[in-house]
Structure 1
């Protein structure tokens, strides 16, 4: 029995860790309506494109909330660099919306979406 445990515990632990680290693509998919990050980006692109700055201000808050929910799930299975880049993009999006700068807001939104696609892959 002891010999079995000596081999079983490390092998089981390694399998669990590998599964967690490879689960990024599954965990980044939305589990509900309030954590759909790609949809939040698309909604924000639409609001910024039409220059509805009040709506864009509300949408950026929903984008931030969606990202925080997804971040809790993918933080162990994704590269820290990609996570940081998305965080920076969101901060820049907020600044561009405050300044009512359509060009920079759209650039940052598309960059955030690009980093989202690379997250967990």
Structure 2
């Protein structure tokens, strides 16, 4: 029994860690209505194009909250640089929204979407 436990516990632990490390594509999918990052980005792009800055500001907060939820799930299976790049995009997006700068806001949204798509590759 002791030999079985000595062999089984490390193997099960390694399998769990491997599943977490390779599970980023599953873990970044939305688990609820409030963590669908691609949908929020798409809505923000539409509102920036129509220059609805009040709605864009609210959606930026929604995006930041969604990111906080998702990053907890994917932090162990993604590279830190990718996670930091998305976080920096959110910060620059906030500045573009405050300045009501349509071109920079769209540029940051497209870059954030690209970072989102590249997570887990």
- TM-score tier after normalising by the smaller chain length: over 0.9
Give the alignment's TM-score, normalised by structure 2. 0.96
Alignment of 1:65-80 (within 5 A): 65-80=65-80
Query: Partners in 1 of 2:55 and 2:11 — Cα distance?
Result: 52
Post-superposition Cα deviations, 1:39-68, rounded to whole Å, max 9, x if no partner, equal: 010011111111111111111111111111
Aligned to 1:108: 108
CA-CA distance at 1:120 after TM superposition: 2.0
Structure 1: gaps spanning 5 or more residues: none
CA-CA distance at 1:75 after TM superposition: 1.1
Deviates more, 1:64-73 or 1:1-10: 1-10
CA-CA distance at 1:17 after TM superposition: 0.5
CA-CA distance at 1:70 after TM superposition: 0.9
* Coordinate RMSD, CA, aligned: 0.9
Aligned to 2:42: 42
CA-CA distance at 1:33 after TM superposition: 1.0
Structure 2: gaps spanning 5 or more residues: none
Query: Partners in 2 of 1:19 and 1:69 — Cα distance?
Result: 20
Give the alignment's TM-score, normalised by structure 1. 0.96
Runs of 4+ in 1 over 2 A off after TM superposition: none
Post-superposition Cα deviations, 1:51-98, rounded to whole Å, max 9, x if no partner, equal: 111111111111111111111111111111111000000000000000
Aligned to 1:8: 8
Secondary structure in structure 1 of the residue aligned to 2:20 = helix
